[in-house]
Amino acid sequence: MEEGRMSILGGALVTFVAGLLSAFSPNYISLLILRGLAGAGLGSGHVFFSWFMEFVPPSNRGKWMVVFSTFWTFGSVSEAALAWIVMPILTWRWLLALSAIPAFVLLIFIVFMPESPRYLCTKGRITDAHNILDKIAQFNQTSLPSGNLTSDGTNDLDEEFSTSEETPLLSSARKRTTVRKSGFSSFLMLFSPRFFKTTILLWVLYFGNSFVYYGIVLLASELSGSQSKCSSSILLSENVQDASVYINVFITSFAELPGLLTAALLVDRVGRKLSMTIMFIFVCIFLLPLVTLQSNILLTALLSGARMFSMGTFIIANIFAPEIYPTSMRSTGAGVAYAVGRIGGMVCPLVAVGLVTSCHQTAAILLLEALIVLSVVVILLIPFETKGKELVNTIDGVSNSKQVLVVA
């Protein structure tokens, strides 16, 4: 198993084991611990974005990354449908056990994942990178064009690959590449003068984005059928068997699909920053009427619209962050930003949802609106736009803008 896939394997294993064991939790404390471990395992999910991104050409990279992200939405819709079916007739234990199955499926199929050729080049493994590209070409019933497999690195190769003119891809023109920095070194580089400002801005963006997105997700169930009563958290437990809760969550989950379509149409046309700004504005518009009590139908419609555009900003941010960093620190940079975003997701139930359950719905919505405004300001301050830009392998490649993995 390649190093690039080990984090995915480990995350899937932790998620599956902890998710399954949580269905058998004997008490509340053990349930919290196991669900926390399952969530920690999900943290490896950001690697999928960096991995898939390195196979896609820059001209339509944004569109294909959005298409790739639709499977997140399919998972959300499937989970909402599963809860709708299981909870009224069985118990939450069945829901948790069944929800662990996808992680088990991932453990089976991960062995079929090819390593990123770009990543292999940064490790100096030109032969392996060539072999994977050749397999991809064969699968697509085509052949690789003649040319050089190059990297913008500067260190000696661990191995060389040389071919004759008859073979489709030649060795690196420089016969040099960069050995990937250790995880700790990559982490420290996030705070170098070249990346410090962008790193901090991305962290704020991810925090605000996750807070708003998960706030909308949680409010779909928290506000459902409860606004007229406006009581404490007991209200949610009283309505847990009410099918309308699961129906509303199911509908709002489906709303992510048109949001992804909108993101796909915008991201490669107007750029990442403007796309996120436009979609954040629409999230703000849909949330604003919720400062006052609304009917259940209007509530569902407004939350669906807000979730539609919030998912778009969420996914574009997940495209934007890996594009900013070079391959040598791409997973680290995007992963740390993703982790900071998870903090926003953790704080949200304690703050925004807590305000709703304590009969402060207006304050909760205004808090979400404030974070949207902050996120838009942060987007405007980020000094990069990555639309149509080639990914780079090394830190030096960020400044000299040299193309990598070039076939010429």
At residue 259, the pLDDT reads 84
Give the domain range for residue 135. Answer: 124-179
Q: Do 279 and 333 lie in a common domain?
A: yes
Give the span between the Cα atoms of 132 and 126, in whole angstroms: 10
Contact 252, 99 (CB under 8 A): no
94 domain-assigned: yes
Nearest 10 degrees: CA dihedral of 374, 377, 379, 384?
Answer: -140
Tokens of 27: 């008490």
Within-domain flag for 328? yes
pLDDT value, residue 164 = 37
Confidence (pLDDT) at 376:
93
One domain for residues 89 and 157: no
Domain C-terminal end among 179, 196, 214: 179
22 assigned to some structural domain: yes
What pLDDT does 161 receive? 35
What residues of the chain score a pLDDT lower than 70? 1-7, 43, 45-46, 147-184, 221-245, 293-294, 358, 391-408
Same domain, 158 and 249: no
Same domain? For 134 and 255 the reply is no
Q: Is residue 396 part of a domain?
A: no
pLDDT of residue 374: 94
| Separation between Cα atoms, residue 368 and residue 358, nearest integer Å | 16
Residue 119 domain flag: no
**pTM of this structure:** 0.68
In a domain, 349, yes or no: yes
Q: Say yes or no: 198 and 347 in one domain.
A: yes
| Domain assignment of residue 268, yes or no | yes
**What is the spatial distance between Cα 126 and Cα 148, in angstroms, rounded to a whole number?**
11
- Same domain? 175 vs 193: no
> Does residue 224 sit in the same domain as residue 95?
yes
Do 329 and 192 belong to one domain?
Answer: yes
Which pLDDT tens digit goes with each residue over 37-84?
Answer: 887 777 676 677 777 777 777 777 777 888 887 887 788 888 888 888
Output the pLDDT for position 391. 67
Q: Which residues contact 330 (CB under 8 A, 6 or more apart)?
A: 50, 322, 391
Asked if 175 and 194 sit in the same domain, the reply is: no
Structural domains counted in the chain = 2
pLDDT (0 to 100) of residue 406: 33
Return contacts of 115-120, CB within 8 angstroms, 24+ apart.
115/2, 115/4, 115/5, 116/4, 116/50, 116/51, 116/54, 116/55, 117/54, 117/55, 117/149, 117/405, 118/54, 118/327, 118/391, 118/393, 118/404, 118/405, 119/4, 119/54, 119/180, 119/327
Both 147 and 295 in one domain: the answer is no
Q: Give the model confidence (pLDDT) of 331-348 as tens digits.
A: 788 888 888 888 888 888
CATH number, domain containing residue 35: 1.20.1250.20
87 and 200 assigned to the same domain? yes
Instruction: Determine, yes or no, domain membership for 191.
Output: yes
Beta bridge partners of 156: 176
User: Residues 236, 367: one domain?
Assistant: yes
